[in-house]
Amino acid sequence: MGLVVLALLAPCAARAEDGGRLDGFNIIESPRHPFGSPPATLAMRQARDLGARALAIVPFLWQASPQSAVVVRGNDMSDDELRAAIRAAHELGMAAVVKPHVWVPGSWAGAVEPASEEGWQDWFKSYGEALTQIAHVAAEEKAEALVIGTELLKTTARPEWSGAIAQVRAIYSGNLLYVAQNIDEASRVPFWPQLDAIGISLYPSLGPDDDRDGRLKIMQQTGDALDQLAARFDKPVIVGEVGLRSAEGAAAKPWESAEERAAAPDTLLQAAVIADWMRVLHRPSVKGVLVWRWFSDPQAGGPNDTDFTVQGKPASGVLLCAWKLGCDNRCTGTRTH
């Protein structure tokens, strides 16, 4: 990654001596590197060595369409693999956050919206069954936190959530949070009082790649809104996802995947944006930042990869500085080529 890049992009963010934060990665199980295998454990150790204190382990739930009322566990991660991931995180000295995602082919979790009242009831029944199965594993393995849902934008106004949360509370005694899709959704979630923290994904449009002043303004406004949410609900904020593809043009649509748009690699853009986010998000209201993403494949990423992972890219050096080395005396956020 180069010491020049490391020095120029190191953020004035979390200090190595800060304690009690859930800083780390969302970790995705790669098909050929299941949790519990030596390569997956190596990948987790690599994340720890960058200074990650937490890993958000992502089991996928699946439903056929946004209107479907049936949610089932995906085949990506068995209970035994989830259990192995939590244990490996603990053995490496990291906290484990269990963070299920709903996968909708050709769509996304924010579009989930059954077509009738009966459909809603059926959806919450099947979602609840999948969630309680995951909650049992989280409880037995003493995961530090459990996410009851991720970016389920059109579901959060439903009254069924109160019962679903109570059902999970009866199983799991650790920290519960929900990860809202953005500031707007987070401001309207009615069940924050039943949870321990406000979770949120941060992918606002940041404008042109070369407009650093513009994106810093957007980031600062976002950080101020997080402070307001924390004060309004008297809860800490956990940033459940933040990140950027290492691709040209990614700043305008940070949520966009590599499958949605082909682009040339730009690893320095990714590093610069993550550096700025880490700086802005270092504030008392935010008690953790989970970067999207890291894979259980220790060879994932690299300089020609244009997806979100920071593995093998300059952004990993930015995070090493933020989480472990305390490189705040060299903060500029300047890009060089």
Please say if the pLDDT value at position 10 is more than 70: no
Please say if the pLDDT value at position 247 is more than 80: yes
Domain boundaries 19-214+228-261+281-302, corresponding CATH code: 3.20.20.80
At 197 the pLDDT is: 98
Cite the DSSP H helix spans in the chain. 3-9, 38-49, 79-91, 117-140, 160-169, 183-188, 212-233, 267-280, 314-320
- The answer to which of 11-15, 67-71, 128-132, 216-220 has the lowest mean pLDDT is 11-15
At 19 the pLDDT is: 56
At 4 the pLDDT is: 34
**What is the tens place of the pLDDT at every residue in 41-90?**
999 999 999 999 999 999 999 999 999 999 999 899 999 999 999 999 99
At 233 the pLDDT is: 97
> Residue 330: pLDDT band by 50, 70, 90 thresholds?
very low
At 86 the pLDDT is: 98
> 268 φ, ψ to 5°?
-75, -35
**Domain boundaries, given as residue ranges, for the chain:** 19-214+228-261+281-302
Please say if the pLDDT value at position 94 is more than 60: yes
Among residues of the chain, what percentage have pLDDT more than 70? 91
- Pairwise CA distance, residues 110 & 91, whole Å: 34
- Pairwise CA distance, residues 158 & 189, whole Å: 10
At 327 the pLDDT is: 75
Task: Determine if residue 2 is left, alpha or beta; phi over 0 gives left, psi from -120 to 50 gives alpha, anything else beta.
Answer: left
Instruction: Give the torsion sign (CA, 47, 48, 52, 57).
Output: positive
